[in-house]
Amino acid sequence: MTDLTITPKAELANSTPEERNAIETFYRAFEGRPELLDEAAAPDWQDIPLAPGQAAGRDGMKPLIAGFAVAFPDAKVTIHEIISAPGRAAVRAAISGTHAGEWFGIAPTGMTFQLAIHEFHHIANGRLTHTWHLEDWFGWLNQVGAWPATQQEGTR
């Protein structure tokens, strides 16, 4: 697993060191270390929206991260930009890796990808309390050759 990359312009000028640590630790969790959610997020952290079948809170996210690590064992997060205000941060980042295991019912393709993510966090007492997120999963489907679906696949 590689370390989190933060590009030079990804600065948290209006944040505390604790807020920066919470954000960086949160993204390191997605590199196959779901236990880091305990450090980054409050016990009652809200992930918005939940994935299908995902339970609420950080314990609900941990199985997704573990599955993500199997599907994308070389996953790497690059933070491109962080815009912050006290208690809040917006993050523009990307996850890259190789599709090496089943994800979303798609058999491994061995293809590499780069998935854009945009997230908005509320932070209190050095931990994330809320995260609103948007990922480009349609772009991922296209990059691994699963989109567009063929006519035959679309009629099943």
Tokens matching residue 50: 């939940």
pLDDT band, very low/low/confident/very high, at 148 (cuts 50, 70, 90): confident
**In the predicted model, what is the mean pLDDT of the chain?**
89
Q: What share of the chain has pLDDT > 90, as a percent?
A: 75
Instruction: Please give the distance of CA 1 from its chain centroid, rounded to a whole number.
Output: 15
* pTM value > 0.95: no
pLDDT for res 147: 85
d(CA 102, CA 100): 7
DSSP string, 76-117: EEEEEEEEEETTEEEEEEEEEEE--S-BTTBPP---EEEEEE
The pLDDT of residue 8 is above 80: no
* Domains within the chain, CATH numbers bracketed: 5-149 (3.10.450.50)
pLDDT for res 79: 92
3-state secondary structure of 150: coil
* Residue range 64-90: mean pLDDT, rounded: 93
pLDDT for res 78: 94
pLDDT for res 14: 75
